[in-house]
Structure 1
Amino acid sequence: MPSIDMTLPLWGLVIFILWTITVVIFLLTVRIRHLSTGGSPKDFGTPNEESLLWRLFRTQSNLVENLPLYIGVVFLLTVRGVSGTAIDGLVIVYIVFRLVHSVIHIAGINPLFRLSSLVIQLACLVALTALAIF
């Protein structure tokens, strides 16, 4: 089977996966510290936007929820051999705002900024899908 070169969408996938792993490691670190200082495992499932533990959990969940969407788009682009400046630009914007979204969530910044970031990401995914199909 012929080898496929690493395209910008594939590098974006690598960044997405590495970022998700980083957040999981950060979450595990905070969980272990929480438990070692007498915290309860019940605290992991208690919604509390003031808690770093909760925000990290929600960030990790959000990354896992969105990863399949990006994988699907990368799959379409790769299988169809679609590439170019527009694709690369949309991938860069998508990945940047995916990271920004996570940082906003972890930092507990105004959720409206997180929503704006999500809208930009969604627009990129829709555009990338359309470019992959047509």
Structure 2
Amino acid sequence: MDVTIYHNPDCGTSRNTLDLIRHAGIEPTVIEYLKTPPSRDQLVKMIADAGLAVREAIREKGTPYKELGLGDPTLTDDQLLDAMLKDPISINRPFVITPMGTRLSRPSEVVLDILPADAFKGPFVKEDGEAVLDAEGRRVV
């Protein structure tokens, strides 16, 4: 299965998402988006394919969100996209793209919606100790 993750290795959610993909036996294409940001067209497509509004794809924590006034409701999608592309840390992460769909995997287990359910053969626990998959590889609710 062809899977791409827009990844930030400093982000626990992104690391957990990547680990879940690998737990499914899939080695994804890993794009460290801070080093290699998506193009404007790629970003617009990811956001749309994930069913999000542009504003929902902006990260506030640990970014220049407040300094840039990105919470201003009068800013257009184009202005928000410009800011995200200028400062890629402002793009929320991780975005994951598979043939089954595109998701902003926050929380990390959202990625399970776009991976084959039968790919998981055992338990998975996040870095913080939260169980995501049980011993049979089924989602813990």
Q: Name which one, 1 or 2, has greater alpha-carbon Rg.
A: 1
Tell me the TM-score normalized by structure 1.
Answer: 0.24
Answer 1 or 2: which has greater helix percent. 1
TM-score norm. by structure 2 comes to 0.23
